[in-house]
């Protein structure tokens, strides 16, 4: 693809989050790749976060799925495709079209998504295609459609910079949309009037930017926003002319919200009346208000009501579609929006059309010239896998998502797939738990190899461009789908030479018979041709054919996509969150960490990204930990009626009392018992079908380990025979946390993990049986192969120092004994837990620099470079400095008192 003789640079788009940053990928003459932010891309203007900056490190072919497989054995594409087409056709012939399903993902490109949806809804004739966006954006989609009549995001990123108040609801922006966070941070620096409010039960890294943090009780957002609506009415802040001209249902919504009763709202939300009043007056006084929301809103059994409670407040004030104002649902995945545009959800059709609408069905059917259109909604993700488990769905194709780790009640999902007669999995990696259940595995082309488009949170379509050759026999996902469609007898309608032809068809459909009746219209991009598509610059929709680009926002002057073109207020009621029984007294909250992406099939490949959080954990409030006799760094079991995890306890007052937070990332590839979705209840929002992944009643208990261990290993172990383990890449090898319930022959365990070839002569050991401490180091000549640190308590050895040992050149004599001493030498102090992943700077280094006078994030950057590349760690540095400062003040106070 590239001229090997010289370096070349391609403009493409980051494949992680919905910010949709532009990336410049440069392939050097030696074939090595480096990435930078694209200064011209309007999403990021050159910035990249820690994950985007590390993209080049994820391109290795380790763990890549390179060839089609049937029952785990390599086969040709022809054989695999024939089998998929035959089994789907046969199942449909015997049991009807609803006996098959596709489960796809916001991480495939629009072109892949378009053909998947077309094949299922127009040619197989079932709407049993759903996507992991059901776990992600479904409540926002449903809330938009209830209020606006269409799934429209009204605003743009620029609004966040032009606002005077940004309210972040259930969004950990600093970690999950870091570049938007940085844009707000920069805007705040130039506009000191800009205020930020964070509404989240946890005190997250995002709170470092907040003027006000409202740590409300889980799932009480509707009470808070209903109260706000009532307050805005009482404080005379309504835009009555907007309400009259452009909306319906205001009185009903206001009546449902009731009068402002601060004491009651305080009781419902657990917030103080003062904080609530402060928040309400800030909103009342600030016309330029944007309310950003994400999974703390969507992933709830009342998610759609939360969305509408927020939208109601913007409709009531007319603060929508104008610069610096509006409700703003930000998307998680790189192509969550593209998937919604092609109609990839089971309750949508295509091009934002509705499956229930016979006119829309006819329009799409005639456009596709399709034999059998789906006439009703298909099964939504949770119900879809339930139907698989009950044998109603007998063949399923899973593409670019890992449901045995990411769907709620995940052990049941695994059992369902095990029982399913025919499972196809398209993925790019072999280190994927779902692959264990595949009859057929199809190797997809990955980021950097494939071509297509994605749409980001602000409706901006950007090209992902390939700059690497397709390795092995990998193929783009659209190609595999079209090949199966052809083999099922639909050759003429799935005959595309490349992604540009699919895009052209998708763009034409969006404009077909549209005339401004539907929001999604990119007819102006239908005639790009191959070269126009290749060169397409990032562009925000709508792009109507033959019309000048107008304002890129929606709804400032009404024009909603309902029959009477008016928006709907939705009367929502604040219901008390699910009662917790005595046996499950805590609320399990789940979500993301800064440097990992979902099930870690890509970020888990880099030591740099894994250093920030190398192990699954539970964030628990100190009082709750004390109540179950649990100390920091011990292991804790989190259990619901559905399943359990055992993870490291991170005792912190950032957690809310009564709640425990566990990240969603860890799978069976990286930990013994870290799949948190095994614990999560499969309860869904009645309107959107989205699971309430942030609220499962659980029990917590301390795991009484007989021993704990930490190891570094040059080679990845084949199997780890230990009750608890968590594996992560480290420079030059792997790092491994271990623990056991019963006493074990630890030297034997060390030898097995270190490589059974290691003979006694090459092992150095240290044992202090009274203290329960033992250490082993295994050598291959002068090079360290493995080192083990065992103790009766959580092992205190410096992880960063130990992890660096594998890359230490030849070690002899005293150096070898230092390894066993488990302590860094004086000239190499322990850097502490990694905070800055770009420069691998740890918390201890930051504390030292602070002691030396570096008292701001900028000063730390000058001394250590930490925070000066991608900037994703800046809020953590700020939080660390704050904590150090507090300590110092406390010491001063004590000194004074003394």
Ligand X SMILES: Nc1nc2c(c(=O)[nH]1)N[C@H]1C(S)=C(S)[C@@H](COP(=O)(O)OP(=O)(O)OC[C@H]3O[C@@H](n4cnc5c(=O)[nH]c(N)nc54)[C@H](O)[C@@H]3O)O[C@H]1N2
Stretch binding Mo ion (CB under 5 A), from 149-157, 284-292, 331-339, 729-737:
331-339
Would you say the C-alpha torsion 98, 103, 106, 108 has a positive or negative sign?
negative
Shortest distance in whole angstroms from residue 501 CB to Mo ion: 29
Stretch binding ligand X (CB under 6 A), from 261-269, 588-596, 634-642, 736-744:
588-596
Q: Is 330 in the site for Mo ion (CB under 5 A)?
A: no
**Full strand arrangement of the beta sheet holding 773-780:** 724-730, 733-740, 707-713, 783-791, 773-780, 763-768
Burial (CB count <10 Å: 0-12, 13-18, 19+), residue 815: middle
Q: In the complex with ligand X, which residue's Cβ is closer, 446 or 746?
A: 446
Stretch binding ligand X (CB under 6 A), from 40-48, 180-188, 362-370, 397-405:
397-405
Residue 385 interacts with which of ligand SF4, Mo ion, ligand X, none, CB < 5 to 8 Å by class? none
Q: Is 18 in the site for Mo ion (CB under 5 A)?
A: no
Q: Is 20 in the site for ligand SF4 (CB under 6 A)?
A: yes
Q: Is 693 in the site for ligand X (CB under 6 A)?
A: yes
Residue 592 interacts with which of ligand SF4, ligand X, Mo ion, none, CB < 5 to 8 Å by class? ligand X
Site string for ligand X, 215-244 (x = CB under 6 A): ---xx-x-----------------------
Q: Is 332 in the site for Mo ion (CB under 5 A)?
A: yes
Q: Is 452 in the site for ligand SF4 (CB under 6 A)?
A: no
Helix (H) or strand (E) holding 816: helix 813-821
Q: How far is CA 638 from its chain centroid? A: 22
Q: Is 116 in the site for ligand X (CB under 6 A)?
A: no
Q: Is 343 in the site for Mo ion (CB under 5 A)?
A: no
In three-state secondary structure terms, 38 is: coil
Question: Among 80, 136, 525, 791, which residue interacts with ligand X (rule: CB under 6 A)?
Answer: 136
Q: Is 611 in the site for ligand X (CB under 6 A)?
A: no
DSSP 8-state symbol, 469: P
- Of the candidates 439, 369, 422, 531, which has an alpha carbon nearest to the alpha carbon of residue 70? 439
- Of the candidates 888, 866, 887, 869, which has an alpha carbon nearest to the alpha carbon of residue 877? 866
Residue 795, CB half-sphere, CA atoms under 13 Å: how many? 24
The C-alpha atoms of residue 847 and residue 613 are separated, in whole angstroms, by 19
What is the residue whose two structure tokens read 């590349």? 869
Task: Enumerate the β-bridge partners of residue 788.
Answer: 711, 776
Q: Is 104 in the site for ligand X (CB under 6 A)?
A: no
Q: Is 64 in the site for ligand X (CB under 6 A)?
A: no
Residue of minimal Cβ distance to Mo ion: 332
Q: In the complex with ligand SF4, which residue's Cβ is closer, 16 or 88?
A: 16
In three-state secondary structure terms, 347 is: coil
The C-alpha atoms of residue 510 and residue 819 are separated, in whole angstroms, by 64
Q: In the complex with ligand SF4, which residue's Cβ is closer, 447 or 695?
A: 447
Q: Is 172 in the site for ligand X (CB under 6 A)?
A: yes
Residue 824 interacts with which of Mo ion, ligand X, ligand SF4, none, CB < 5 to 8 Å by class? none
Q: In the complex with Mo ion, which residue's Cβ is closer, 215 or 334?
A: 334
Q: Is 48 in the site for ligand SF4 (CB under 6 A)?
A: yes
Stretch binding ligand SF4 (CB under 6 A), from 11-19, 213-221, 486-494, 496-504:
11-19
Q: Is 838 in the site for ligand SF4 (CB under 6 A)?
A: no
Using alpha carbons, list the distances in angstroms from residue 857 to 47, 106, 113, 183, 877: 18, 35, 43, 17, 6
Shortest distance in whole angstroms from residue 204 CB to Mo ion: 17
Site string for ligand X, 614-643 (x = CB under 6 A): ------------------------------
Radius of gyration of the chain (CA): 27
Question: Among 355, 379, 664, 678, which residue interacts with ligand X (rule: CB under 6 A)?
Answer: 664
The C-alpha atoms of residue 563 and residue 824 are separated, in whole angstroms, by 70
Q: In the complex with Mo ion, which residue's Cβ is closer, 136 or 763?
A: 136
The set of residues, in sequence order, having a beta carbon less than 8 Å from that of 814 and lying 6+ positions away, is none
Site string for ligand SF4, 21-40 (x = CB under 6 A): x-------------------
Stretch binding ligand X (CB under 6 A), from 199-207, 382-390, 499-507, 808-816:
199-207
In three-state secondary structure terms, 856 is: coil
Shortest distance in whole angstroms from residue 402 CB to Mo ion: 12
Cβ atoms 64, 430 nearer than 8 A: yes
Stretch binding ligand SF4 (CB under 6 A), from 18-26, 247-255, 387-395, 475-483:
18-26
- Of the candidates 317, 300, 283, 344, which has an alpha carbon nearest to the alpha carbon of residue 151? 344
Helix (H) or strand (E) holding 245: helix 240-246
Shortest distance in whole angstroms from residue 534 CB to Mo ion: 29
Near Mo ion in 133-192, by CB under 5 A: 136
Stretch binding ligand X (CB under 6 A), from 67-75, 401-409, 637-645, 802-810:
401-409
The C-alpha atoms of residue 841 and residue 833 are separated, in whole angstroms, by 8
Would you say the C-alpha torsion 375, 376, 381, 386 has a positive or negative sign?
negative
**Full strand arrangement of the beta sheet holding 460-464:** 452-455, 460-464, 539-540
Site string for ligand X, 477-516 (x = CB under 6 A): x---------------------------------------
Q: Is 52 in the site for ligand SF4 (CB under 6 A)?
A: yes
Residue 296 interacts with which of ligand SF4, ligand X, Mo ion, none, CB < 5 to 8 Å by class? ligand X
Cβ atoms 638, 626 nearer than 8 A: no
Near ligand SF4 in 151-190, by CB under 6 A: 177-179
Residues recorded for the chain? 898
Would you say the C-alpha torsion 627, 628, 630, 634 has a positive or negative sign?
negative
Largest CA distance in the chain: 87
Q: Is 832 in the site for ligand SF4 (CB under 6 A)?
A: no
Q: In the complex with ligand X, which residue's Cβ is closer, 642 or 878?
A: 642
Measured in degrees and rounded to the nearest 5, phi and psi for residue 27 equal: -100, 120
Q: Is 114 in the site for ligand X (CB under 6 A)?
A: no
Q: Is 16 in the site for ligand SF4 (CB under 6 A)?
A: yes
Question: Among 19, 168, 571, 620, which residue interacts with ligand SF4 (rule: CB under 6 A)?
Answer: 19
Residue ranges of E strands in 247-295: 247-248, 289-293
Residue of minimal Cβ distance to ligand SF4: 52
Pinpoint the alpha helices (H) of 466-498: 477-485
Would you say the C-alpha torsion 46, 49, 51, 53 has a positive or negative sign?
positive
Query: How would DSSP label each residue in 697-755?
Result: EEEEEEE--SEEEEEEESS--S---SSEEEEEEETTEEEEEEEESS---HHHHHHHHH-
Q: Is 399 in the site for ligand X (CB under 6 A)?
A: yes
Near ligand X in 408-437, by CB under 6 A: 426-429, 432
DSSP 8-state symbol, 444: B
Site string for ligand X, 316-335 (x = CB under 6 A): ----------------xx--
Q: In the complex with ligand SF4, which residue's Cβ is closer, 130 or 595?
A: 595
Cβ atoms 312, 570 nearer than 8 A: yes
Cβ atoms 680, 408 nearer than 8 A: yes
Q: Which residues bind ligand X (CB under 6 A)?
A: 17, 105, 107-108, 132, 135-136, 169-172, 175-176, 199-202, 204, 218-219, 221, 294-296, 299, 332-333, 399-402, 405-406, 426-429, 432, 444, 446, 477, 589-592, 594, 596-599, 601, 664, 676-677, 680, 693-694
Q: Which residues bind ligand SF4 (CB under 6 A)?
A: 14, 16-17, 19-21, 44, 48-49, 51-52, 177-179
User: Under the rule (CB under 5 A), what is the footprint of Mo ion?
Assistant: 136, 332
């Amino acid at each position: 693809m590239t001229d090997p003789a010289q370096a070349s640079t391609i403009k493409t788009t980051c494949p992680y989050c919905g910010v949709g940053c532009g990336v410049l990928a440069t392939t050097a003459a030696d074939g090595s790749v480096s990435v930078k932010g694209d200064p011209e891309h309007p999403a990021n203007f050159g910035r990249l976060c820690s994950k985007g900056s590390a993209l080049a490190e994820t391109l290795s072919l380790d763990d890549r799925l390179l060839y089609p497989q049937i029952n785990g054995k390599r086969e040709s594409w022809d054989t695999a495709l024939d089998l998929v087409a035959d089994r789907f056709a046969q199942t449909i012939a015997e049991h009807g079209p609803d006996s098959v399903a596709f489960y796809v993902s916001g991480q495939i490109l629009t072109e892949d998504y378009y053909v998947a949806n077309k094949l299922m809804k127009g040619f197989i004739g079932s709407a049993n295609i759903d996507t992991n966006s059901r776990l992600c954006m479904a409540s926002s989609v449903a809330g938009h459609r209830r209020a606006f009549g269409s799934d429209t995001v009204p605003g743009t990123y620029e609004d966040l910079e032009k606002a005077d108040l940004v309210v972040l609801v259930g969004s950990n922006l600093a970690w999950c949309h870091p570049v938007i966070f940085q844009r707000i941070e920069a805007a705040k620096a130039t506009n000191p009037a800009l205020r930020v409010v964070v509404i989240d039960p946890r005190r997250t890294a995002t709170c470092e930017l907040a003027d006000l943090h409202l740590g409300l009780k889980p799932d009480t957002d509707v009470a808070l926003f209903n109260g706000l609506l009532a307050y805005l009415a009482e404080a005379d802040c309504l835009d009555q002319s907007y309400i009259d001209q452009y909306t319906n249902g205001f009185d009903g919504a206001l009546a449902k919200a009731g009068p402002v009763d601060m004491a009651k709202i305080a009781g419902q939300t657990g917030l103080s009346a003062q904080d609530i009043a402060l928040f309400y007056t800030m909103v009342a006084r600030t016309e330029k208000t944007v309310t950003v929301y994400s999974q703390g809103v969507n992933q709830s059994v009342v998610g759609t009501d939360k969305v509408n409670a927020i939208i109601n407040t913007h409709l009531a004030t007319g603060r929508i579609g104008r610069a610096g104002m509006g409700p703003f649902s930000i998307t998680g995945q790189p192509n969550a929006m593209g998937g919604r545009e092609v109609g990839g959800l089971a309750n949508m059709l295509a091009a934002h059309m509705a499956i229930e609408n016979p006119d829309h069905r006819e329009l799409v059917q005639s456009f596709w010239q399709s034999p059998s259109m789906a006439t009703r909604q298909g099964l939504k993700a949770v119900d879809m896998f339930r139907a698989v488990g009950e044998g109603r769905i007998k063949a399923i194709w899973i593409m670019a998502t890992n449901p045995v780790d990411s769907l709620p009640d995940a052990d049941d999902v695994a059992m369902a797939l095990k029982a399913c007669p025919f499972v196809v999995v398209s993925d790019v990696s072999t280190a994927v738990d779902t692959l264990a259940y595949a009859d057929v595995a199809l190797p997809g082309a990955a980021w950097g190899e494939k071509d297509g488009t994605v749409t980001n949170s602000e409706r901006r379509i950007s090209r992902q461009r390939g700059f690497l050759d397709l390795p092995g026999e990998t193929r783009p996902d659209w190609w595999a789908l079209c090949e199966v469609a052809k083999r099922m007898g639909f050759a003429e309608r799935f005959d595309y030479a490349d992604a540009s032809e699919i895009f052209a068809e998708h763009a034409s459909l969006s404009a077909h018979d549209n005339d401004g009746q539907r929001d999604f219209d990119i007819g102006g991009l239908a005639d790009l041709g191959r070269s126009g598509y290749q060169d397409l610059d990032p562009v925000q929709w709508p792009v109507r054919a033959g019309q000048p680009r107008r304002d890129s926002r929606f709804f400032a002057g009404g024009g909603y996509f309902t029959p009477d073109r008016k928006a709907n207020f939705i009367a929502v009621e604040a219901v008390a969150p699910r009662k917790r029984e005595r046996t499950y007294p805590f609320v399990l909250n789940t979500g993301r960490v800064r440097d990992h992406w979902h099930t870690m099939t890509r970020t888990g490949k880099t030591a740099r990204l894994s250093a920030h959080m190398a192990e699954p954990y539970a964030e628990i409030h100190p009082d709750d930990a004390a109540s179950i006799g649990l100390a920091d760094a011990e292991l804790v079991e989190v259990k619901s009626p559905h399943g359990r995890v055992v993870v490291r306890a991170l005792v912190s007052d950032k957690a809310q009392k009564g709640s425990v937070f566990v990240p969603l990332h860890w799978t069976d590839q990286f930990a013994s018992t870290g799949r948190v979705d095994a614990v999560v209840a499969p309860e869904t929002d009645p309107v959107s079908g989205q699971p309430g992944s942030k609220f499962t009643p659980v029990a917590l208990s301390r795991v009484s380990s007989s021993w704990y261990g930490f190891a570094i290993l040059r080679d990845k172990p084949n199997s780890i025979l230990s009750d608890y383990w968590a594996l992560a890449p480290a420079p030059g090898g792997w790092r491994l946390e271990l623990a056991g319930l019963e006493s074990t022959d630890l030297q034997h365990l060390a030898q097995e993990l270190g490589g059974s070839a290691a003979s006694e002569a090459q092992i150095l050991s240290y044992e202090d049986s009274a203290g329960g401490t033992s250490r082993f180091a295994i050598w291959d000549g002068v090079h360290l192969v493995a080192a083990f640190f065992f103790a009766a308590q959580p092992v205190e050895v410096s992880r960063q120092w130990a992890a660096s040992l594998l890359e230490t050149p030849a070690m002899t004599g005293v150096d070898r004994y230092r390894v066993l001493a488990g302590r860094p030498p004086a000239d190499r102090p322990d850097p502490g837990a990694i905070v800055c992943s770009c420069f691998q700077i740890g918390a201890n280094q930051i504390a030292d620099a602070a002691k030396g006078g570096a008292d701001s994030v900028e000063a730390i950057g000058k001394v250590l470079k930490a925070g000066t590349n991608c900037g994703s760690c800046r809020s953590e540095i700020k939080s660390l400095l704050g904590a150090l400062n507090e300590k110092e003040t406390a010491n001063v106070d004590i000194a004074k008192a003394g």
